[in-house]
Structure 1
Amino acid sequence: MSDLVLWKERNGVGHILLNQPELGNVISTPMAHALAGVVQQALVADVGAILISASGKQFCVGGDIREFVQNRDRLPQTIHEILAVLNPAMHTLATLPIPVISAIQGALGGGGIGIGLCADIVLASTTVFLRGGYSAIGLSPDLGSSYYLTRRAGASRAKYLLMSNRPASAQECLRMGIFDELHEPDALASQALQLAEELAAGATDSLAHIKKLCDEAHSHALQAHLEAERYAISDCADTANSLEGVNAFLEKRTPIFVRR
């Protein structure tokens, strides 16, 4: 297994760590294969949450421009080959039936936007800056960058950020809804880990249904969504975790949930 992306499991949390800090965790062909391999490990792991983070000063600066230059005579094929590996992995990661949290520091650009924002909850350092980068080199977004920016900030802001290629500060991203929380650089890792461990200890049935309902809300008519909610809450109610949660509430204690 490559050391470009690391995987570990601890306290019910699966940790995905981008690990090429000297190059800003660029998305190269080797990085793509490494990340896809780690996502396969996450798919079968007995964990209750996933935490995505990165080594070094930058979370991910985007695609490996040096690789693009080296392969300029077959650039379309190179990009196609990378995305043929990463697109299924990104879909798997985003649709895991457990909470996914990302902790973002430094530069966030290009396909790194998709990797960072595919999480259900996005925590970032106060020093982060986001820049699309695509329009500066005549390319369009990939890895869900336009999808997640549009869902989080709206189509108008997403087009502005991606077309103008102007950087957005952490505070601007927070105001636009791109990030959910900001933390000082030295506190980001501990805050993200604390949240991931709290969610990993939660009622997995409840969290899985919450994730699915929220992700599908925009595509449902109200009546269909009400029915989906009815099914979900009935399914949750028929679990030991629901009984434990109700009993713990009445007994004024912290519930002890089990992973399913």
Structure 2
Amino acid sequence: MNMQESEGIAWGVADGIGRIVLKRPERANAIGRSSARVLVRAIDEVIAQQPRAILLTGEGRVFCAGGDIGEFVAAGEALPALVDDILNRLHPALLRLSAQPAPLVVAVNGAVGGAGVGLALCGDFVLAAESMKLRTGYAAIGLSPDAGASYFLARRVGLVRAQQLLMLSDAIDSQRCLAWGAVDALHPDAELAGAAEALAARLAHGASASFAGIKALCAGAPGRSFEDHLAMEHQLLRERAGGADAREGVAAFIEKRAARFTGR
């Protein structure tokens, strides 16, 4: 497939799958001012093409080390302004990525820290290499979380454990990440890319309108009353019941064959 590439970020859409790749392995895929701007562009251009699944991956031994510490040091007293410049663009883009209707798969190819934790754990499905390890790192350098790291970590491992991990900045290996629910599956390093591609392809061939409804229901469930949630379930199910995918799914079930969903 043809991928655009700039500032260590590559992106494109093919066969219903949007792909975003962190390609700055010589800098541990760290996110700086320029790469953050391109990452925002990549997210928006992939979303605009309405893929049926999105796959976020990294290259090298590190998925993403977080912010570019070299830029932080160079900024000196202007560090708050640098933080604003990066996050004023990046945070809204990460919100759009997380909220878009297609299933999001993240393949965590190695170590992850800082803002990389938010990128790694924002997926609906998070697959990791056996060599993966997680270290929040913020408190160790006197900073606090960004890029949704505290939100997604707390959602996956629980509030108290997330707070402890963020305060202590200890390195957590892949087995503990799996046991605690930070990631959903582990694969040998050489098999991770294939497993992530296979999952993205499976989701891209699924009932995408159904997936969108499921994401909407689950994302807002904690802040919604049961009554409101039931009303939303009713509304979404009625909409899906009138769609082509529902007719195809029911027919395939009766005929004992694989459904051929079109996303409608």
- One fold, TM greater than 0.5? yes
* 2:194 pairs with 1:214: no
Aligned counterpart in structure 1 of residue 125 of structure 2, from 104, 121, 126 = 121
Measured in 2, the distance between the counterparts of 1:227 and 1:239 equals 19
Measured in 2, the distance between the counterparts of 1:190 and 1:174 equals 19
Partners of 2:7 and 2:34 within 8 A in 1: no
Aligned counterpart in structure 2 of residue 235 of structure 1, from 239, 246, 253 = 239
Measured in 2, the distance between the counterparts of 1:19 and 1:169 equals 23
1:3 to partner: Cα distance: 4.5
Provide structure 2 residue ranges, at least 5 long, that are not aligned to the other structure.
none
Measured in 2, the distance between the counterparts of 1:174 and 1:218 equals 23
The aligned amino acid for 1:74 is A
1:10 to partner: Cα distance: 2.3
The aligned amino acid for 2:232 is A
Partner of 2:171: 167
Matches within 5 A, 1:29-48: 29-48=33-52
Q: What fraction of aligned residue pairs are identical, expressed as a percent?
A: 42
* 2:255 pairs with 1:251: yes
Partner of 1:179: 183
Q: Quick one: structure 1 residues 26 and 195, their matched pair in 2 at CA, closer, same or farther if it must change by over 3 Å?
A: same
The aligned amino acid for 2:167 is M
* 2:170 pairs with 1:149: no
TM-score with structure 1 setting the length: 0.98
1:234 to partner: Cα distance: 1.0
- Between 152-161 and 41-50, the greater mean CA deviation after superposition: 41-50
1:253 to partner: Cα distance: 0.7
How many matched pairs?
A: 260
Partners of 2:103 and 2:211 within 8 A in 1: yes
* 2:94 pairs with 1:90: yes
Q: Which runs of 4+ in 1 moved over 6 A?
A: none
Measured in 1, the distance between the counterparts of 2:171 and 2:28 equals 17
Where 1:71 maps in the other structure, the secondary structure is helix
Provide structure 1 residue ranges, at least 5 long, that are not aligned to the other structure.
none
Name the Cα RMSD after superposition: 1.0
TM-score with structure 2 setting the length: 0.96
Matches within 5 A, 1:185-204: 185-204=189-208
Where 1:51 maps in the other structure, the secondary structure is strand
Measured in 2, the distance between the counterparts of 1:92 and 1:171 equals 30
Q: What do residues 108-152 of structure 1 show as CA deviations (whole Å, max 9, x unaligned)?
A: 100001111111111101111000010011000001000001111
Partners of 2:13 and 2:46 within 8 A in 1: no
Q: What do residues 170-213 of structure 1 show as CA deviations (whole Å, max 9, x unaligned)?
A: 11111111101111101110001100011011111100001111
